Amino acid sequence: MPERPGLLELFVAFAKMSLAGFGGVLVWARRAIVDQHRWMTPDEFNEAFALCHFLPGPNIVNLSVVFGARFRGIPGSIAAFLGLIGPPVVIVTVLAAIYARYGEIPALQRTLAGVSCAAIGLFLAVIARMMMPLVKRRDPVALTLLAAVFIAIGILRLPLVPVLLAAIPFSIALTFATRRKAAA
C-alpha cells in the first residue's frame, strides 16, 4: 500500500472526485481510492462503503468522513468532507440560478434527459465492479445474501429498514463464522 494521504491530498482527491462525479461520485471515488491511489483494496472499499450504508446521511458523504478518519483522524474527515462538498456546492448554486431562469427551454430539458441516462450507466458499472470480489470468491452464502437483499428491496419492494435490520446481523454473523473457520 502507498503512504497514507495527507490532509491536502485528501481534500484534493475528494474535490476531484466530486467534480468528476456527474451522476454520482461513487464511480469516481472507487476508481480514485482503489485503482488510482491504491489507498484501499477492493474488499476494504466494499467494507467501508457497506458501513456507510448503515450510517445516517448520503453514503458518499459518509464514505468521505470514514475514509478521512481512517487515515488522518478528525482533521482527515473534515478535509475529505470539505473536498467532497465544497466544489459541487458552488457549481450547483450557480446552475440552480441558471436553471431557474432558463429551465423551460426544450433543448435544455432534452440535454438533462441524456445526462441522466449516462449517469445510470456509470452507476451500473460501479455496481458490477463492486460485485466482482464477491463473484470471484464464489462464496455461495454471500452471493445468496446479496441476491436476497436485492430481491427483497429491488423487486418485492419491502421496506428498507426491516430488510436491513434482518440482513445486517445475519451478514455479520456469517462473516465472523467464515473468518473463524478460515483461521482455524
Q: Mind listing the pLDDT tens digit for each residue in 112-149?
A: 888 888 878 877 887 888 888 878 888 787 888 889 99
| Domain of residue 104, residue span | 7-137
pTM over 0.85: no
Q: Mark whether 165 and 105 lie in a shared domain.
A: no
Output the nine-digit C-alpha cell for 63: 464514505
Q: Does the pLDDT at position 82 exceed 70?
A: yes
**Is residue 150 in some structural domain?**
yes
Residue 184, pLDDT score: 74
**Is residue 160 in some structural domain?**
yes
**Is residue 1 in some structural domain?**
no
**Is residue 101 in some structural domain?**
yes
Q: Mark whether 52 and 35 lie in a shared domain.
A: yes
Q: How many domains does the chain have?
A: 2
If one compares 142 and 43, the residue with the highest pLDDT of the two is 43
* Distances in whole angstroms, Cα of residue 88 to Cα of each of 73, 81, 91, 130: 24, 12, 5, 25
DSSP 21: -
Q: Which has the closest alpha carbon to 62: 48, 72, 76, 73?
A: 48
Residue 128, pLDDT score: 86
Q: Mark whether 85 and 32 lie in a shared domain.
A: yes
Q: Mark whether 123 and 180 lie in a shared domain.
A: no
Q: Does the pLDDT at position 1 exceed 70?
A: no
- CB burial of 9-27 (b: ≥16 within 10 Å; e: otherwise) equals bbbebbbebbeebebebbb
* Distances in whole angstroms, Cα of residue 175 to Cα of each of 7, 128, 145, 148: 33, 21, 12, 16
**Is residue 90 in some structural domain?**
yes
